[in-house]
Amino acid sequence: MKLDAINWEILECLQKNARLSNAEIGRKVGLSSPAVAERVKKMEDYGVLKGYSAEVSYVKAGYQLKAMITLRAFMGRLQPFLIKVTDFKEVVNCYRITGNENIIMEVVLRDQIHLQEFIDRLITYGEVKTHIILSKLIENNPIMDQSM
């Protein structure tokens, strides 16, 4: 599917606020509500739009810490970790990466004691580095048309 300028505008609107109505998006991009609905449906069918989600405040949900944790897996421990990581409720995002480390995870934790306990579970799989997130600079920035 080739995304034109209007599709990119629709995507930007939805990434900023997925609850916008087709009529509201249409006013912003210069299309009728049915035309927006048709384009959104095509982007959903093609897989460009993968879904809609809610943003949750980890602090207001009772978690004091957010951290990025890297793991450099010990020999023979990467595959067991890849299976086990799906059971860790602390992990909100996890990526397999290139470089010295194999894994980077974004985690939310109740407090420092919870962080210590979580690290203790991870160290059986490899060398762990923890980076506490102090503040958000950019988060969920819309993916935009970069060809212009």
Question: What's the pLDDT at 147?
Answer: 82
The helix-helix angle for 22-29 and 33-46 (nearest 10°) equals 100
Question: What's the pLDDT at 21?
Answer: 97
Question: What's the pLDDT at 148?
Answer: 64
What average pLDDT values come out for the chain (148 residues) when binned by 10 residues? 95 95 97 98 97 91 97 98 98 97 98 98 98 92 85
Question: What's the pLDDT at 106?
Answer: 97
Give this prediction's pTM: 0.84
Nearest to 94 by CA among 65, 67, 112: 67
What is the rounded distance in angstroms from the CA atom of residue 123 to the CA atom of residue 5? 48
